[in-house]
Amino acid sequence: MNLFNHIKNILEENEKFCKEGKLFKNVVVEAALKLDCELLSLLIEDEISKKTFFQEIDNILIFDKIKFQKFVSNKQFLPDSYTAYKNKIGLTANEEYLTEAKEVVLTWAYKDCVLEGGQTKEDQRRKEIFWNETLAPDEIDRLFNPKALINWKRYNKEGVSDLDNISITDNLIIKGNNLIALHSLKHIYKEKVKLIYIDPPYNTGNDSFQYNDSFNHSTWLTFMKNRLEIAWKLLSKDGAFFIQVDDSEFAYLKVLCDEVFGREHFREAIVLKSSTESGVNAINVKRGERLFKVKEYILFYSKSNSFRFNPFYTKTDFNTNYRYEVVKSKSGYTVTDLSKKFKEKYNDLNIPKKERDLLANKAFENYALANSKNIYSLEKNIKKAGDKFKTFALANKEKGIVEEYINSLNNIVLIYNGGVFVPLEERTVNEDNKNYFGVLASDLWVDIGTTPSSEGGVKFSNGKKPEKLLSRIIQMTTSPGDIVLDYHLGSGTTAAVAHKMGRKYIGLEQMDYGENDSVSRLCNVIKGDSSGVSKNLNWKGGGDFVYAEIAKNNAKYIDEIEVANNNQDVTRLYDSIIQNPYSSYKLSTSLLKENINSFKNLDIESQKNILLDFLDKNELYVNYSEIEDVDNNIDSKTIEINNQFYNLK
């Protein structure tokens, strides 16, 4: 019996609400809004309705009248009704009509649904099933329970070994559905993750998001929303969330994130130059059909409005204002104007003045960057400084010497000619053990570049993200020991860089990339991978990580149904599924056996759809609570590790 009929039967106990099978919806809704005692008594006495429409807080039951109102009011109340938005697309926001709510929202078909999203191969097209949280909560009431994890392994310099124990400080790679994995992680890592970075499928039509062609856009938004909602709960109160995307879905994703995270938590929309103005698309540009696509976006949100990132500098041209070399000796400070010094040095060369100046300036720049600890510019605009500082600087102006001033942070500041010396050392960028002049970062990142094909030691058809990019994001938002999460791990760039930078990490990946997956890349990192940011970090190898897989139950059948292409395969699955203890409780094995010939006469697509309906979707994966059931065939050591994992502190 579906939930609507169940509630309808309960309400029939009072003719005021339902009589002779006819539900008086307006009466019921009005009673719910008024918290009518007769209605509440009927609902609270039934375990299913109590579980669905009430929350228990400190032993007090709270009635969710808005949820109940939506439930009763929807006029598409049959089992095939996927969504409350079916007839009201664009009309409601936060349970109110838009004309009354006066809000800007992003609403689409299937928004109030759950998309499990079980694709495991890039060329695998799936017709995903949506489960509705409002209208059919009994369909997914156990889908998000913690799942059993199997095939536990530990990888280190010695190789791979079976796992003996696990701790909260272990690096973790989980293979399997990322939505299911995120819900399982919630029980351990809620508000413990400092940084979440994801590079999800962009939904360009040519990428790995191969779901539901006829409503692909709605599917993508539902897919993203489901995962963003649970991932946000894992983020710590001082954490940051970065999402990389191109312009195919950028505008929609921004509005969606504002809704899920709260618009007040938006920090930046970073523009990243990700490719160059060249390549096979040049002919399209010459025809005036399109411009070169050289940019992507990174949306940056923080959990707290008081979040502060670690400031950083990016490479830029040398600023010749940093021309003073200031050296301390026992007798005081000496000041040398390097610009004059190097011009005088090259004056005697018998070459044109323009060439002499170029040589002098280049020598000046190289010297300054190599000796940045002693190089300064002189800032004479001190209008915004405090009165005490201004008085000190004014007195210094006529002395012609360098003096030390202790500022409010108890730091020594050098004063000269009434101005303050600004050190070059703080404004240098070091790459490959070479210094460059830096400028404080903006929201336009043009210095990252593309990813070398050899980086990480794995090949990746969708393109790997540069280690330099992840290094910057990790550096600006975390400290050593913080947890970094990437639930679209792909080739493993996030985990690889986090490993090299001394951060803890959790990587989730459900796609099968064979020998080019994140595990292979992390093994290279442990062995001392020298590519990417290794040189800057002086990375020599070491460390370890733990690997596990989500234990599949009915999901194994879905995989087999997807690839079945003949009647023999489908019939074999039919026989197996109807005997499966985790098939839908609604099935009658005897009736199905009697009607096997009717099933065989259907076309193969209809047969596949029927087989999917046979499966209990709450049993797609093995629930941790049922890990010891003999039907799941999980060994005692794996059970022990799961018990350790789900009790981590």
Asked, for residue 439, whether it belongs to a domain, the answer is no
Place of tokens 């009635």: 63
Q: What's the Rg (C-alpha) of the chain?
A: 32
Each residue's pLDDT tens digit, 367-422: 999 999 999 999 998 888 888 999 999 999 889 899 999 988 898 999 999 999 99
Q: Are residues 265 and 333 in the same domain?
A: no
Closest CA to 163 of 153, 173, 175, 151: 153
Q: Are residues 543 and 561 in the same domain?
A: no
Asked, for residue 83, whether it belongs to a domain, the answer is no
Query: For residue 478, what pLDDT is reported?
Result: 97
Query: For residue 212, what pLDDT is reported?
Result: 47
Closest CA to 135 of 188, 218, 72, 58: 72
Q: Are residues 191 and 280 in the same domain?
A: yes
> Of 433, 458, 487, which one is at a domain's C-terminal end?
433
Q: Provide the 3-class DSSP secondary structure of residue 550.
A: strand
Q: Are residues 270 and 322 in the same domain?
A: no
> Of 505, 521, 550, which one is at a domain's C-terminal end?
550
Beta bridge partners of 296: 272
Q: Are residues 568 and 535 in the same domain?
A: no
8 A C-beta contact, residue 146 and residue 625: yes
> Of 401, 433, 465, which one is at a domain's C-terminal end?
433
* CATH number of domain containing 228: 3.40.50.150
Extract the runs of DSSP E, i.e. beta strands, from 417-544: 419-423, 428-431, 434-440, 444-445, 483-486, 504-509
Which tokens sit at 648? 């981590």
Q: Are residues 294 and 406 in the same domain?
A: no
Q: Provide the 3-class DSSP secondary structure of residue 96.
A: strand
Range of the domain at 256: 130-312+447-550
Extract the runs of DSSP E, i.e. beta strands, from 417-561: 419-423, 428-431, 434-440, 444-445, 483-486, 504-509, 545-550
Q: Are residues 419 and 497 in the same domain?
A: no
Q: Are residues 68 and 160 in the same domain?
A: no
Asked, for residue 494, whether it belongs to a domain, the answer is yes
Query: For residue 92, what pLDDT is reported?
Result: 53
Q: Are residues 135 and 65 in the same domain?
A: no
Q: Provide the 3-class DSSP secondary structure of residue 61.
A: strand
d(CA 220, CA 212): 9
Asked, for residue 362, whether it belongs to a domain, the answer is yes
Query: For residue 235, what pLDDT is reported?
Result: 98
Which DSSP state fits 78?
S
Q: Are residues 178 and 69 in the same domain?
A: no
d(CA 464, CA 362): 36
Work out how many domains the chain is built from and give that number: 4
Query: For residue 81, what pLDDT is reported?
Result: 39
d(CA 457, CA 515): 10
Asked, for residue 78, whether it belongs to a domain, the answer is no
d(CA 537, CA 585): 57
Query: For residue 251, what pLDDT is reported?
Result: 94
310 phi, psi to nearest 5 deg: -80, 115
Closest CA to 501 of 197, 186, 187: 197
| Residue numbers in the chain where pLDDT is lower than 50 | 1, 75-91, 207-208, 212-214
Asked, for residue 649, whether it belongs to a domain, the answer is no
Query: For residue 591, what pLDDT is reported?
Result: 82
Asked, for residue 272, whether it belongs to a domain, the answer is yes
User: What pTM does this model have?
Assistant: 0.80
Q: Are residues 153 and 228 in the same domain?
A: yes
d(CA 429, CA 314): 7
Asked, for residue 525, whether it belongs to a domain, the answer is yes
8 A C-beta contact, residue 555 and residue 116: no
Q: Are residues 184 and 159 in the same domain?
A: yes
Question: Residue 263: which residues within 8 A CB-CB, separation 6 or more?
Answer: none
